[in-house]
Amino acid sequence: EILHSLVDKKRILALTYLAPDSGISNIAGSLAGIDNFIKADPERISDLKPDLVITSAFINPEAVAVLQKLGIPVVMYPLSDKLSEIYQNIRLIAKAVGEEARGEQMIKAMQNEIKQQPKKDIACLYYSLDGVVSGSGTQFDELLHLAGFTNAAAGISGRKSIDREKLIELNPDIIFVPVWYVNKETREGEGLVSSLLHDPALAGVRAIKNKRVYPLTDKHIICSSQYITEGWRDLLRFSKPTEGRKSE
Amino acid sequence: MKAVCTLLFMLLAGVIFNLGLGTAEISYGEIIKMLFNFSPNAFTEHEAIIFLIRMPRIILAVLVGGALGTAGCVMQGLYRNPMADPSIIGISSGATLGAVSAIFFSLPGLYTQPFLAVTGGVLVAFLVLRLAVRQDKIQMMTLLLAGIAVSTFLSAVTSLMLSFCYEYQLKQFLFWTIGGLDGANWHHIHLIIVPIISGVIFLCFYACELNLLNLGEEEAQSLGLNPTKTRSRLLIAASLVTALAVSVSGTIGFVGLIIPHILRLLVGSDHRLLLPVSALGGSVFLLYADLIARTVFPLGEIRVGIVTALIGAPYFLYLLLQNRKGGLNF
């Protein structure tokens, strides 16, 4: 996503096979002109004869070692879980492709948009299908605080799985449910919203009692690129109570 | 008698521990007050945890554990092999495929997944039984091999469906492959309580027939038993009971394998005692396994199928080693 915005498409020989998947990719609709979507297969990569390979830290290290043995330069960017880390990755990739100025422009645009909002007394919770929440020190936590919300899972460090008892104890005002695909008519995301709203054990939770359980497009939130601004805009919709409910 | 009393005591203790222990700190004094003074129309936070989360989970653990323990005992009796397990004829694979189909095709309805899981499990049992019957006799080795073959085939079909699943569907599937009781609710109890208790009682009534079958085919026939008919009934009943358990908890392994085996060492091989004791033992085992699964990590929980596998697999290896030394008696 970062590379796609930094350079001309003619410079891109291939992207990850996940790029065309609109469920997880923010650039799925703008890939015309890029012909190859591949896995981290050294043989396939070397066949394309790239000048540079840009990959993330969770790629198979053996694949990276093989590429380096073949004389192909590899730039690895670390995983990011903070806005500052996204900025660092943009600078790293921009420098690698010789587009530092564009990289700085991208960062400035993000910083102009993502700004501290007035504080609201609303506790939000990010809650996924397998009970994983985003506690303190996560990117979502950072965005929530910038949007003026409090994180109901602030007492939990990092991303952890909680059970229903803990969810009842946390008692958030709003529950955000990450989904890959949101049904535009029903605003339902993959059944999780309705399963929470209809669980009798959770009926006393404020967010469920007041039906403030909203699907959030996950690719906007679990995002390591400039498209985190989409997640920011998604959250800001809910900081205005009336407008947040209009979108229900 | 001693074994039954001990197991009943452990069951009661298990229920008490599971009621009082969990992520939320609720004292036993508060629980006792709740039991005598609550309104089902307006639960407080702690009442919701006790009555809507912990209680159905405890009851489900007792029902599922009892079903798997009984079915395991019957399977070991039928195969005359202490390493037999309810999933040996592919029931779990069939139930899993039924449930995954409901997930894959996004079929609506609260009871669709459990219904298809039961249907899948029972259909597989019928199929494997049909394959194993020759000249009005059930070939046990054929039954075993057909079960393995059908199980493998169904697992492949399931994996194929998963290849085309969305990620959120994969997460639902995980529930079925590594069983758990975390989603337990009163709907599940209403669904399975009568059929499982009926099925377990039915199997216990066939204890004498199981004893006779263990004497051998000819001996059983000479004593007036129809071995083929009896085996078929027992297999179908055990399959149904297992499929019901899988339909609400996913695949929880090793309960049906190790519990009857351990209890056989304690109470002997007479199924008139062994069957009900296996039901009790299965309930107790799953209750404590679920307690570990819920409380071992401070915030979240692990799936109970992981706990039973961590305990069961080493014990299974021990059984294999004993078998190699020729030490396993049946």
Beta bridge partner(s), residue A240: none
pLDDT in the model for residue A243: 42
Residue A30: its H or E element? none
Both structure tokens of B18: 């599971």
Residue of B nearest to A202 (CA): B48
Q: Give the confidence band of B166 by pLDDT, cuts at 50, 70, 90.
A: low
Mutate which of A17, A132, A165, A219 to test chain B, going by most B C-beta atoms within 10 A? A165
Of B101 and B16, more confident: B16
pLDDT interval class at A248 (50, 70, 90): very low
Spell out which residues of chain B touch residue A199, defining contact as CB-CB under 8 Å. 185
| A window 15-74, beta carbon within 8 A of B | 23-24
Question: 């996503």: which residue's tokens?
Answer: A1
Q: For the stretch B54-64, what's the b/e string if a residue is b when 16 or more beta carbons lie within 10 angstroms of its beta carbon? A: bbbbbbbbbbb
Least confident of A74-88, A95-109, B115-129: B115-129
A154 touches B: beta carbon within 8 Å: no
184-223 in B: which are within 8 Å (CB) of A?
185-186
Mean pLDDT rounded to a whole number for chain B: 85
Q: Could you tell me the two tokens for A210?
A: 């007041």
- The DSSP line for B238-301 is HHHHHHHHHHHH----SHHHHHHHHHHHHH-S-HHHHHHHHHHHHHHHHHHHHHHHHHSSSSS-
Each residue of B210-265: pLDDT tens digit?
Answer: 999 888 878 888 888 888 888 888 988 998 899 899 888 888 888 998 899 889 88
- The ipTM value here is 0.76
In angstroms, the separation between the Cα of residue A2 and the nearest Cα of chain B is 24
pLDDT in tens, A91-122: 999 999 999 999 999 999 999 999 999 998 99
- Of B23, B62, B16, B26, residue with least CA distance to B47: B26
Q: Which of B24, B53, B300 sits opposite A131 (nearest CB)?
A: B300
Kindly list the residues from chain A whose CB atom is less than 8 angstroms away from the CB atom of residue B23.
162-163, 165-166, 169
* Beta carbon pairs, A and B, within 8 Å: 70
pLDDT digits 0-9 by tens, B22-71: 888 899 999 998 888 867 677 888 899 999 999 999 999 999 999 999 99
Q: Greater confidence, B117 or A140?
A: A140
Whether residues A190 and B43 touch (CB distance < 8 A) is answered with: no
Average pLDDT of chain A, as a whole number: 88
Mutation target for A interface from B31, B44, B52: give the one with most A CBs within 10 A.
B52
Question: What are the DSSP calls for A71-117, one per residue?
Answer: T--EEEEPP--SHHHHHHHHHHHHHHTT-HHHHHHHHHHHHHHS-PP
Tell me, yes or no, if the pTM score tops 0.90: no
Phi-psi region of B152 (alpha: psi -120 to 50; beta: other; left: phi over 0): alpha
Q: What is the mean pLDDT of residues A26-51?
A: 90
Q: Enumerate the residues of chain B whose CB falls inside 8 A of the CB of residue A164.
A: 49, 53, 182
% of chain B at pLDDT higher than 70: 92
Instruction: Nearest chain B residue to A205 by CA: give it.
Output: B45
User: Higher-confidence residue: B56 or A217?
Assistant: B56
Let me know: does A205 contact A167? Beta carbons within 8 Å.
yes
Beta-carbon separation of A201 and B172 below 8 A: no
